Amino acid sequence: MLGGMQDFELRVPRLLDHAAREHWGREIVTRWADGSETRTTWAGIARDARKLAQALERLGVKKGDRVATLAMNHSRHLVAWYGAIGMGGVVHTINPRLFDDQLAFIGNHAEDRVLFYDKAFAPIVERMKPEWRTIQHYYCFDGDGRGSFEALLAQEDGNYAWVEGGERDPCMLCYTSGTTGNPKGVVYSHRSSVIHAITELQPAEFDLSTQSVVLPIVPMFHAVGWGLPFACAAVGAKFVFSAVNEPRILCELMNREKVTHSAGVPTVWFGMFQHMDATGDAPGHLKIVTIGGSAAPRAMIERIMKMGVRVNHAWGMTETSPIGTMGAPSADWDEMSFDSQVDQVSKQGKVPFGVELRVVDDEGNLQPRDGQSSGRLQVRGPWVIRQYFQDESGPCVDADNWFDTGDVAVLHPDGVMQITDRAKDVIKSGGEWISSVELENAAVGCAGVAEAAAIGVYHPRWDERPILLVVRKPDSQVSVEDIQAHLAQHVAKWWLPDEVHFVESLPHTATGKLLKTAIREQYKDFKLAAA
Ligand code: ADP
């Protein structure tokens, strides 16, 4: 057929070029670890990214080489992403909260060539240097003098054209913080990143525009900072970064910079609530808060919605770029009671165009979308993984591209997905399943409970029975009886935990989620008093 459209490779540097051209003056604010603040713009980020691309070429970095970062959120980290990607490199974000053997493994497995790091993580770098075999150059983002990021940029003039290539070239690499076995690397392409970024702009997703002022609490090393560094460039949103995730600092920044959008795991909001209760402070300009990474408890959603703020409940994984579903307002939202709205957002929501979901039983049979039949959640789409980095065993999807998430879920008739548990966290009592997530979320709705973890422990008759570990809020006297009475209003009687224990704290993964494997390990020989 004669005629057609232009070929336009969907490459990440185009996002930055667009932001620098159309939204050049929109600010990128950083509050650094030492308390100082700097302000730059999308034009400034683009200028510095070109300088960094030049510098990396001068260091001998080649197309496809991995450039690693070990850093919190700030403008220089953003420059590093765009600069390294712009010269054809692949940015590998390292999670500083990993254990040393995991850090050693991923640095070597990724074959990183250069590492940019925060001064706060210098001790990690010193410790790991002898282990990392391929890293030749180290630069400190917030250091002084030679060996600092600024000194590296200062040598360049920024007169640089991005490396061209195909849209299916890799641009990012992120390892899943697997709690058992070695971490696995997820490779993102330019194309998957750009399509994902554009999807995130939609009203039913992050709802972003140039008017948005975005403070991502989610670190850039957690699943590509949930895609925000790319999505915000597409509309020239203003960024407010904090290199320190302290509720007092976040709250102050949110108010001063009039932050409209924020995103983070539930733990972050627990911390924010404690700060609000203790000081009477509250973020005043927020419009949308996105919570994901683990299930957002109903009580948390309710509290934020009562502040007049929309809650987006996001489900996703490192393997899904990460947006899989979003619990955003439905078509009949305005006719719903407040309680039904909260119920709605408590589920994980619907897929955007591009993602497909299905639920299958253990034999692989498709389950109906009836809101009851639970099973393994599978996903596919153009920003969903096909094969892990350097994984000789081949694709991690079936012949039709379905990727098994390891989550247990139900699909409702209206397309809303609800996670009931992670397959390995489900508590199996007498052949029936008890959702640890639901127990935990019901528990944190009880006054005086700061955090809770439900695990299954051995029971001679039922195989497993749930116990609940509870961290009390400071000064709270909440009792086992109070908690059981509260739970009884929210879950079936046979789900009630056989025992409730108070603990000082609970272990978390590197991305701030409950570390269930460690808790189970601790209780593996536990004997129930009544068993
Ligand atoms: P990891 O937790 O292993 O470091 P990810 O950050 O990729 O890796 O986590 C993905 C997992 O987090 C999902 O498979 C799911 O179990 C859980 N998760 C993410 N978002 C939600 C949510 N909104 N509700 C419940 N579980 C969630």
Q: Is the pLDDT of residue 213 over 90?
A: yes
Q: How confident is the model at residue 177 (pLDDT cuts 50, 70, 90)?
A: low
Question: Looking at ligand 1, which residue's alpha carbon is closest to its atom 27?
Answer: 294
Calculate the average pLDDT of the chain.
Answer: 95
Please check whether residue 497 is in contact with residue 466, taking contact to mean a CB–CB distance below 8 angstroms. yes
- C-alpha of residue 334 to centroid of ligand 1, in Å: 30
Tell me the average pLDDT across 111-129. Answer: 98
- pLDDT computed for residue 454 by the predictor: 96
- C-alpha of residue 288 to centroid of ligand 1, in Å: 20
Which ligand 1 atom sits nearest the alpha carbon of residue 317? 7
Ligand 1 pocket check: which of 291, 513, 517 to mutate, most ligand atoms within 8 Å of Cβ? 513
Tell me the average pLDDT across 83-100. Answer: 95
Q: Is the CB of 321 within 6 Å of ligand 1?
A: no
- pLDDT computed for residue 316 by the predictor: 97
Closest by Cα among 272, 175, 176, 177 to 215: 272
Q: Is the pLDDT of residue 245 over 80?
A: yes
Q: Please indicate, yes or no, if residue 89 is contained in any of the structural domains.
A: yes
Q: Is the CB of 291 within 6 Å of ligand 1?
A: no
Domain of 504 in residue numbering reads as: 426-522
Q: Please indicate, yes or no, if residue 4 is contained in any of the structural domains.
A: no
Q: Is the CB of 263 within 6 Å of ligand 1?
A: no
Q: Is the CB of 292 within 6 Å of ligand 1?
A: yes
- pLDDT computed for residue 531 by the predictor: 72
Q: Is the pLDDT of residue 463 over 80?
A: yes
Which residues make Cβ contacts (< 8 Å) with residue 206, sequence separation at least 6? 200, 228, 231, 261, 263, 288, 290, 312
Choosing from 428, 432, 494, 524, the catalytic residue is 428
Measure the N-to-C terminal CA separation of the chain; round to a whole number of Å. Answer: 75
Q: Is the CB of 422 within 6 Å of ligand 1?
A: yes
Q: Which of 316, 346, 376 is the last residue of a domain?
A: 346
Tell me the average pLDDT across 356-368. Answer: 95
Statement to judge: residues 400 and 439 lie in one domain: no
- pLDDT computed for residue 47 by the predictor: 98
Q: Which of 323, 346, 369 is the last residue of a domain?
A: 346
Residue 319 is a catalytic residue: yes
Q: Is the CB of 224 within 6 Å of ligand 1?
A: no
Q: Please indicate, yes or no, if residue 450 is contained in any of the structural domains.
A: yes
- pLDDT computed for residue 196 by the predictor: 98
Statement to judge: residues 390 and 331 lie in one domain: no
- pLDDT computed for residue 433 by the predictor: 84
Question: Looking at ligand 1, which residue's alpha carbon is closest to its atom 23?
Answer: 315
Provide, rounded to the nearest whole percent, the portion of the chain with pLDDT above 90: 86
CATH number, domain containing residue 481? 3.30.300.30
Q: Is the CB of 176 within 6 Å of ligand 1?
A: yes
Q: How confident is the model at residue 178 (pLDDT cuts 50, 70, 90)?
A: low
Statement to judge: residues 186 and 48 lie in one domain: yes
- C-alpha of residue 292 to centroid of ligand 1, in Å: 7
Which ligand 1 atom sits nearest the alpha carbon of residue 324? 20
Please check whether residue 453 is in contact with residue 506, taking contact to mean a CB–CB distance below 8 angstroms. yes
- pLDDT computed for residue 173 by the predictor: 98
d(CA 452, CA 468): 7
- pLDDT computed for residue 36 by the predictor: 97
- pLDDT computed for residue 338 by the predictor: 98
- pLDDT computed for residue 510 by the predictor: 82
Tell me the average pLDDT across 200-217. Answer: 98
Provide, rounded to the nearest whole percent, the portion of the chain with pLDDT above 70: 99
Tell me the average pLDDT across 501-522. Answer: 90
Choosing from 38, 134, 176, 179, the catalytic residue is 176
Closest by Cα among 458, 73, 44, 424 to 240: 73
Q: Is the pLDDT of residue 208 over 80?
A: yes
Question: Looking at ligand 1, which residue's alpha carbon is closest to its atom 11?
Answer: 317
Check whether the bond before 297 is cis (ω within 30° of 0).
no
Q: Please indicate, yes or no, if residue 296 is contained in any of the structural domains.
A: yes
Q: Is the pLDDT of residue 179 over 60?
A: no
Q: Is the CB of 115 within 6 Å of ligand 1?
A: no
Q: Please indicate, yes or no, if residue 260 is contained in any of the structural domains.
A: yes
Q: Is the CB of 315 within 6 Å of ligand 1?
A: yes
Which residues make Cβ contacts (< 8 Å) with residue 463, sequence separation at least 6? 428, 429, 430, 431
Which ligand 1 atom sits nearest the alpha carbon of residue 179? 3
Tell me the average pLDDT across 373-379. Answer: 95
- What single string gives the DSSP state of each residue in 80-124? HHHHHHHTT-EEEE--TTS-HHHHHHHHHHHTEEEEEE-GGGHHH
Closest by Cα among 117, 90, 110 to 12: 90
Q: Is the pLDDT of residue 286 over 60?
A: yes
Q: Which of 422, 445, 480 is the last residue of a domain?
A: 422
Statement to judge: residues 467 and 513 lie in one domain: yes
Tell me the average pLDDT across 245-255. Answer: 97
Please check whether residue 54 is in contact with residue 120, taking contact to mean a CB–CB distance below 8 angstroms. no
Which residues make Cβ contacts (< 8 Å) with residue 527, sequence separation at least 6? 458
Q: Is the pLDDT of residue 45 over 80?
A: yes
**Number of structural domains found in the chain:** 3
pLDDT digits (tens, 9 = 90+) for 304-333: 999 999 999 999 999 999 999 998 889 999
Choosing from 156, 200, 205, 319, the catalytic residue is 319
CATH number, domain containing residue 418? 2.30.38.10
Statement to judge: residues 368 and 472 lie in one domain: no
Q: Is the CB of 61 within 6 Å of ligand 1?
A: no
- pLDDT computed for residue 304 by the predictor: 98
Statement to judge: residues 377 and 480 lie in one domain: no
d(CA 106, CA 80): 19
Q: Please indicate, yes or no, if residue 331 is contained in any of the structural domains.
A: yes
Please check whether residue 26 is in contact with residue 41, taking contact to mean a CB–CB distance below 8 angstroms. yes
Statement to judge: residues 23 and 81 lie in one domain: yes
Element (H, E) at 68: strand 66-70
Please check whether residue 495 is in contact with residue 466, taking contact to mean a CB–CB distance below 8 angstroms. yes
- Which of 55-69, 177-191, 232-246 is least confident? 177-191
Q: How confident is the model at residue 431 (pLDDT cuts 50, 70, 90)?
A: confident
d(CA 3, CA 11): 24
Statement to judge: residues 443 and 305 lie in one domain: no
Tell me the average pLDDT across 237-258. Answer: 97
List alpha helices for 410-522, DSSP H.
436-444, 480-488, 516-522
pLDDT digits (tens, 9 = 90+) for 135-162: 999 999 999 998 999 999 999 999 999 9
Question: Looking at ligand 1, which residue's alpha carbon is closest to its atom 19?
Answer: 293
Q: Please indicate, yes or no, if residue 1 is contained in any of the structural domains.
A: no
User: 10 Å Cβ neighbour count for 471?
Assistant: 17
Tell me the average pLDDT across 341-354. Answer: 97
Statement to judge: residues 161 and 285 lie in one domain: yes
Q: How confident is the model at residue 116 (pLDDT cuts 50, 70, 90)?
A: very high
Task: Write out the E strands in 366-448.
Answer: 375-380, 403-411, 417-422, 427-429, 432-434
Choosing from 433, 464, 473, 517, the catalytic residue is 433
Statement to judge: residues 28 and 142 lie in one domain: yes
Which ligand 1 atom sits nearest the alpha carbon of residue 295? 24
CATH number, domain containing residue 94? 3.40.50.12780
Statement to judge: residues 111 and 42 lie in one domain: yes
pLDDT digits (tens, 9 = 90+) for 219-230: 999 999 999 999
Statement to judge: residues 75 and 118 lie in one domain: yes
Please check whether residue 151 is in contact with residue 81, taking contact to mean a CB–CB distance below 8 angstroms. no
Q: Please indicate, yes or no, if residue 531 is contained in any of the structural domains.
A: no
- C-alpha of residue 318 to centroid of ligand 1, in Å: 8
Q: Is the CB of 438 within 6 Å of ligand 1?
A: no
